[in-house]
Amino acid sequence: MARHIGRAGLDLIRSFEQFRPNPYRDAVGIWTIGFGAIRGLDGQPVAPTTPRLSPAEADALLERDAGRATGAVNRLIVAPSAQAAFDALCSFTFNLGAGALQRSTLRQTINRCEAAEEELWVRWDMAGGKHLPGLRRRRIAEWSLYADNAVWQAAAPSAPHRSGSGQADARAASPLRGEHHHEVTFAS
């Protein structure tokens, strides 16, 4: 059964993308509108001439694009996770695209039911060859949502749970913890 992005995931995306009713160039120069959409209501790439969006239209684009990210997470992540962890992965995929999730060590780690530590998230903080503080903040927020809420117990009961602060606690569980948008590069 396919899962759906929850309120926490949509709110996280909204908080970082922020509503912009008129076309604008993102950090790497891609025309964008609404909550980070690179395609308008008509499915065409956003351009300077793309009509202004109402908040309801921007929400419709967000739902469309978040649905694409959600489909990719459903397809690529096979390990069990809490809803908040799924939401964090949807936000990551919304921003970076399905290809980034597919080739990431983050996905491989999660699918092995191993702890996906913060470092696996924050390494995806580059766009246009530059480390961007906003992308780093986003990756930390995604990891925090993932790490604080994504505990599975069946696959690795002996691994310590890590709280959002990175401290191991006594719980016998392990954190489980688009084709969209922007060209984001990986820091090697």
Residue 92 structure tokens: 């990551």
Q: 20 with 36: CB under 8 angstroms?
A: no
Burial of 133 (0-12, 13-18, 19+ CB in 10 A): exposed
Radius of gyration of the chain (CA): 17
Q: Give CA–CA dist 43/107, Å, rounded.
A: 29
Annotated catalytic residues are: 17
Query: 90 near 58, Cβ under 8 Å?
Result: no
Instruction: Say if CB 74 and CB 124 are below 8 A apart.
Output: no
